[in-house]
């Protein structure tokens, strides 16, 4: 076992659902000790968030996956005695994470200004949905709603029925959590140099827009000049996307129709090669299976991949050699196979077999360690 870069750091994670807990997960993977501050009555709402309708040992499998390698300290934040315990924990902490709606954490007495008085060296990570000073600050920051507000779902649409399709992943939540970790790590570096804590703020709206930089100029800059379609011939068209074959789909990276025709020239009569269109390419792809076309196109230097389902992916040698899965175990022996951290340090895969905690599972040891002394 190699030393992890965040070993010795204490994180108090007040967050729920996905964005904040995902940030806490990554900090735990990197070696920090992460304690979830949960409600006594039900804990993190993610425990009952059944995206896949799968439950294990009383909690959703999503909760297990996103909260592995953490401890749970259950309290009533409306109780002054419990708030006092949390304040004492904060005096020892290095990092705090929260994703309540703007104004809520302040009412509980744990806003940044209050916490800074307790611990001026603490890195305070805060997530909101639409920002703290915008007209929409009070709206719930939920992934699907953010996809709708930013128009992201239009990029993932079914042209056959001309309707948007939401992403099958909580992309806004995950990216926001990742951005928070980036800010926290930067603040830790700054603290090591200047000895000062910091407030790190991210919001789901900006994080979702950040993912869309690739198409910002094309889609969201009205009034910009565009020569799209001007003088464009059939042979200069650019192709990119998923295309059906006789079996599955294949994915083609962006290329001109001319390049694709040249790569598949052997499959067309020489007399008609200059008359090949995008439609005739599609008809040709339907004549043979996906693996055949991938072999032919790669030989011609065309980047492509078969569209795999989950069963096919898990059987791929490339996936197996990644060694990205791990078994995690709760204290009662409940086991779940989960994904590992994608970051490697000195070629070492960051893994931990510790499963997600039960509500308040670590209250006793946390209070003995941190609260039993004056």
For residue 357, pLDDT over 70 is answered with: yes
Q: What does the alpha-carbon distance between residue 211 and residue 206 come to, in Å, rounded to a whole number?
A: 9
Q: pLDDT tier at 225 (50, 70, 90 boundaries)?
A: very low
How far apart CA 125 and CA 108 sit, in angstroms, is 16
- Give 54 or 221, the one with higher predicted confidence: 54
Q: Going by DSSP bridges, is the β-strand pair 198-203/348-349 parallel, antiparallel, or unpaired? A: unpaired
- Residue 320's φ and ψ, nearest 5 degrees, are -65, -35
| pLDDT of residue 350 exceeding 60 | yes
What's the pLDDT band for 60 if we cut at 50, 70, 90? very high
Q: Which residue has the higher pLDDT, 268 or 223?
A: 268
3-state DSSP assignment of residue 67: coil
User: pLDDT averaged over the chain?
Assistant: 90
* Structure token pair of residue 160: 């056959």
Segment 303-316 shows an average pLDDT of 93
Q: What is the pLDDT of residue 229?
A: 43
List active site positions. Answer: 173
| Angle (deg, nearest 10), helices 19-29 and 171-194 | 50
The domain locations on the chain are 10-141+170-213+345-371, 234-311
| Average pLDDT over every residue of 313-336 | 95
**10-141+170-213+345-371 and 234-311 agree in CATH topology:** no
Q: E strand or H helix at 360, and its extent?
A: none
Q: What is the pLDDT of residues 126-140, one digit of tens each?
A: 999 999 888 888 888
Fold of 10-141+170-213+345-371: Rossmann fold (3.40.50)
How many angstroms separate the Cα of 233 from the Cα of each of 204, 225, 268, 283?
A: 41, 20, 20, 20
Q: Is the pLDDT of residue 17 over 50?
A: yes
Confidence of residue 230 (pLDDT cuts 50, 70, 90): very low
Domain 234-311 is found in CATH 3.30.1540: yes
């Amino acid at each position: 076992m190699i030393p992890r870069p965040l070993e010795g750091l204490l994180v108090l994670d007040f967050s729920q659902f996905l964005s904040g807990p995902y940030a806490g997960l990554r900090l735990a993977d990197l070696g920090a000790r992460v304690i979830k501050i949960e409600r006594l009555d039900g804990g993190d709402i993610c425990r009952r968030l059944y995206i896949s309708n799968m439950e294990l040992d009383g909690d959703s499998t999503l909760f297990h996956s996103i909260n592995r390698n953490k401890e749970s300290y259950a309290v009533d934040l409306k109780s002054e005695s419990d708030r006092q315990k949390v304040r004492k924990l904060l005096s020892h902490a290095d990092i705090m994470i929260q994703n309540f709606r703007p104004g809520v954490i302040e009412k509980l007495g744990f806003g940044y200004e209050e916490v800074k008085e307790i611990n001026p060296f603490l890195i305070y990570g805060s997530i909101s949905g639409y920002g703290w000073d915008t007209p929409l600050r009070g709206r719930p920051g939920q992934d699907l709603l953010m996809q709708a507000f930013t128009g992201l779902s239009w990029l993932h649409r079914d042209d056959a029925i001309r309707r948007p399709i939401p992403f099958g992943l909580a992309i806004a939540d995950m990216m926001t959590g990742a951005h928070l970790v980036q800010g926290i790590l930067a603040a830790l570096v700054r603290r090591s140099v200047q000895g000062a804590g910091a407030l790190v703020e991210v919001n789901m709206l900006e994080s979702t827009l950040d993912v869309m930089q690739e198409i910002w100029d094309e889609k969201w800059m009205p009034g910009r000049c565009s020569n799209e379609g001007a003088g464009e011939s059939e042979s200069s068209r650019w192709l990119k996307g998923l295309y059906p074959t006789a079996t599955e789909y294949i994915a083609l990276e962006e290329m001109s129709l001319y390049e694709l025709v040249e790569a598949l020239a052997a499959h067309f009569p020489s007399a008609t090669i200059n008359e090949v269109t995008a439609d005739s390419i599609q008809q040709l792809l339907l004549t043979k299976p996906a693996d055949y076309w991938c072999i032919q196109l790669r030989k011609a230097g065309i980047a492509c991949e078969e569209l795999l389902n989950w069963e096919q992916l898990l059987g791929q040698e490339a996936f197996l050699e990644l060694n990205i899965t791990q078994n995690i175990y709760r204290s009662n022996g409940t086991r779940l196979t989960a994904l590992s951290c994608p970051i490697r340090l000195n070629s070492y895969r960051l893994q931990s077999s510790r499963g997600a905690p039960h509500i308040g599972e670590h209250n006793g040891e946390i209070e003995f360690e941190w609260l039993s002394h004056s």
